[in-house]
Amino acid sequence: MSGKVKVLVTIPKELYKLVSRVEDEEKLKSFAEVTFNPYDRNLNEEELSNFIVDVDGCITSWGSPKFTEAVLKNAEKLKIIGHAAGSVKPYVTEEVFKRRIVVVNAASTIAKSVAEFTLAMILNCLRGIPKYIEAMRAKDWDYKNRRGIETLDLRGKVVGIVGFGKVARELVQLLKSFEVNILVYDPFVELEQLVAYNARKVSLNELLSVSDIVTLHAASTSENYHMIGEKELRLMKSSAYIINTAGPLIDENALVKALKERWIAGAALDRFDEEPLQKGSVLYELNNVFLTPHVAGPSDERRKMLFGTIVEDFRRFFSGEKPINEVHYEKLKFLA
């Protein structure tokens, strides 16, 4: 690496504190001349256009202005954009890729937290742990004798994974010690990619019909909106649970019906059609669903690692190495 490259960090001051660590900033400064966003808010498009002149790399996060053609006209030296968050779709335009600007993100880092959260919710469903906690808060020791549903082990169960992206792959690693059978529905994953994960590719109908746990990790795209409706829920076993940490992939009206009429044993939901979940939602009233307020993403601890994920990819890129977390244009339409 000859000389220091110029890097612009557009992340507002308060958000920057949440997504970074001191050691990662020092690492960036060791090879780059860094300009930080001076404001407690995101830059607007005009400000980004002004700041990005003569910049080699730019690091963004949630709420960044879009890299429009107008912005890119001032970014003649820009070689790499790093998004210290997950999806780059709201921020990166086709023009970025046309100009052969490399794009990296921190989705792989976030995926680890989402996978852990998903595993926790699977175990909560099978063992009913939150219900016992509620009962003990009410000093109801005897709840365990009248819970009304059989608790189950995860070991040896069939886990159906819908969508086989970064979160799903992290989840499979976590599930190894439970000796579960993994089924995968993903039209875009190749059979050979599943060999290393000891997973079997099946149709959506087969996955729903035989799985004890169905967990949704497909990208939240228009094509996948409400991909699980009444027809799909009726295919599931009456003892099965469905977990959603991905997006509005389930028709909530159909799910309410399935839960009320016990077509399935229960559900754990962290994502909803409308967020925040409306106070009048019937879901609040059901005793066989666990609800969380869109918190399956990075833990506070892991959120601080997002900036560092991008800094390491910048170090690799400007050293002539291949970045680990590159987002390729041809795969963008399949991503959240």
**Strand duo 57-60 + 5-9: pairing:** parallel
pLDDT of amino acid 300: 97
When the pLDDT of each residue in the chain is averaged and rounded to a whole number, the result is 96
Tens digits of residue pLDDT in 184-240: 999 999 999 999 999 999 999 999 999 999 999 999 999 999 999 999 999 999 999
Tens digits of residue pLDDT in 83-120: 999 999 999 999 999 999 999 999 999 999 999 999 99
Quote the CA–CA distance of 3 and 31 in Å, as a whole number: 8
* pTM attached to this predicted model: 0.94
Tens digits of residue pLDDT in 9-28: 999 999 999 999 999 999 99
What torsion, rounded to 10 degrees, do the Cα atoms 78, 5, 329, 190 define?
Answer: 170
Token pair belonging to 159? 């886990």
> 5-106+305-332: which CATH topology?
Rossmann fold (3.40.50)
109-291 sits in which CATH class? alpha beta
Q: C-alpha distances in angstroms, 200 versus 26, 51, 270?
A: 44, 49, 26
CATH 3.40.50.720-classified regions of the chain? 5-106+305-332, 109-291
Residue 239: strand, helix, or coil = coil
